[in-house]
């Protein structure tokens, strides 16, 4: 019995625990590297004989230089504003479109839902040229609205697809009962379907916020002034000059820029997984 139990534990460790530890380690290693690099003094960063995986003399000088020598605080505000407004616009449109495709009976509803999701797969490199003409025509170049109005081109399709799948998991009978009791379709949608779809809404919002926060190409093309840049663009353009990389402030900026997204995921991870599972099943 002891031998069998030991063999079962060994098999479970080999097939579950060891792969899990390796996966978690590989996932967290970039964050560990950012933390170590951001707190290491320059004499250790540029000394190849020093062990790169730890430091004996941690310092916050790189964080101080990041705020003193760059406009990081302004970049953070720009990123938060752009991500929040873009997420609100995309989530509002995706919520209504997802509900309509999942609940309303009309011709080509299913192919239209698939077509909307396929548009999400179009590479941004094919879209930024025509979108550049649109931005130039409206005269909003080098302003936050240049990216706020272009981000929904890839956020709305995914939000619509995810919410459409999640609405399909909500039984129609619940809304039909509300309609029988005298509620209009709009009232049933707002008071019944939307509250039940909160996990899906949170999931779509997290996804849209993350993409808006980390988006690089459109921000690089449409934002040129230092005071208008977002964190990904500001850190890249101001702390990488030719072949010179300011690794300390660079990693400090990358670390601070990744913390908000990590916090959002940690607070809503259960809703996120639930909504994705429901959307795929739907």
Q: What is the pLDDT of residue 80?
A: 93
Residues 6 or more apart in contact with residue 41 via CB below 8 angstroms: 55, 57, 59, 61
Helices and strands, number each (H, E), in the chain: 16, 2
- Per-residue confidence at 1, pLDDT binned at 50, 70, 90? low
Looking at residue 279, its pLDDT comes to 46
Residue found under tokens 């989530």: 91
CA 274 to chain centre: 17
Q: How far apart are the first and last CA of the chain?
A: 45
Average pLDDT over residues 215-242: 88
Please give the average per-residue pLDDT across 250-277, as a whole number. 76
The confidence score (pLDDT) of residue 153 equals 87
CATH architecture, domain 61-281: Orthogonal Bundle (1.10)
Is residue 277 scored above 60 in pLDDT?
A: no
Angle at 73 between CA 264 and CA 144, to 5 degrees: 80
pLDDT of 280 higher than 50: no
Residue range 158-205, pLDDT digits in tens: 888 888 888 888 888 888 888 888 888 888 888 888 888 888 888 888
For residue 5, pLDDT over 60 is answered with yes
**Contact predicate 90/155, CB 8 Å:** yes
Q: What's the Rg (C-alpha) of the chain?
A: 24
Residue in the block written with tokens 């430091």: 55
CA dist 163 and 198 (Å) reads 10
Written as six digits, the tokens of 49 are: 């004989």
Q: Checking phi first, is residue 70 left (phi over 0); if not, alpha (psi -120 to 50) or beta? A: beta
The pTM is what?
0.83
Q: Who contacts 12 (Cβ-Cβ below 8 Å, separation ≥6)?
A: none
What pLDDT is recorded for position 30? 87
pLDDT, one tens digit per residue, over 55-106 is 888 889 999 989 988 899 999 999 999 999 999 999 999 999 888 888 877 7
Please name every residue paired with 240 in a beta bridge, in sequence order, or none if there are none: 245
pLDDT band at 273 (very low <50, low <70, confident <90, very high): low
Asked if 212 and 126 count as a contact pair (C-beta separation under 8 A), the reply is no
For 116-160, what is each residue's pLDDT tens digit?
777 777 777 778 788 888 888 888 888 999 999 899 988 988 888
The predicted-structure confidence for 15-59, as pLDDT tens digits, reads as follows: 777 888 889 889 889 889 899 989 998 888 887 777 778 888 888
Length in residues, the chain = 282
Distance CA 15, CA 7 (A): 12
Beta-carbon count within 10 A of 201 CB: 21
User: Where are the domains positioned within the chain?
Assistant: 2-45, 61-281
Q: Is the pLDDT of residue 232 over 80?
A: yes
């Amino acid at each position: 019995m002891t031998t069998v139990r030991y063999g079962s534990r060994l098999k479970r460790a080999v097939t579950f625990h060891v792969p899990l530890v390796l996966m978690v380690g590989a996932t967290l290693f970039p964050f560990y590297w950012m933390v170590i690099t951001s707190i290491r003094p320059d004499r250790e960063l540029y000394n190849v004989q020093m062990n790169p995986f730890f430091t004996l003399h941690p310092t916050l000088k790189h964080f101080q230089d990041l705020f003193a020598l760059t406009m990081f605080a302004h970049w953070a505000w720009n990123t938060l504003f752009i991500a929040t407004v873009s997420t609100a616009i995309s989530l509002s449109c995706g919520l209504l479109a997802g509900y309509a495709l999942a609940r309303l009976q009309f011709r080509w509803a299913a192919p239209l839902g698939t077509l909307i999701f396929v548009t999400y797969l179009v590479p941004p490199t094919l879209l930024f040229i025509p979108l550049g003409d649109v931005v130039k025509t409206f005269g909003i170049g080098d302003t936050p609205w240049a990216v706020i109005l272009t981000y929904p081109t890839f956020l709305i399709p995914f939000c619509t697809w995810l919410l459409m799948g999640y609405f399909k998991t909500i039984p129609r009978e619940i809304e039909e009962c509300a309609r029988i009791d005298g509620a209009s379709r709009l009232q049933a949608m707002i008071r019944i379907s939307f509250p039940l779809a909160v996990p899906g809404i949170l999931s779509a919002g997290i996804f849209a916020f993350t993409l808006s926060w980390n988006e690089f190409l459109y921000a690089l093309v449409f934002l040129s002034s230092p005071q208008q840049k977002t964190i990904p663009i500001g850190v890249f353009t101001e702390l990488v000059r030719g072949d010179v990389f300011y690794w300390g402030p660079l990693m400090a900026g990358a670390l601070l820029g990744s913390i908000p997204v990590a916090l959002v995921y940690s607070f809503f991870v259960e809703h996120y997984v639930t909504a994705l599972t429901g959307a795929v099943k739907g």
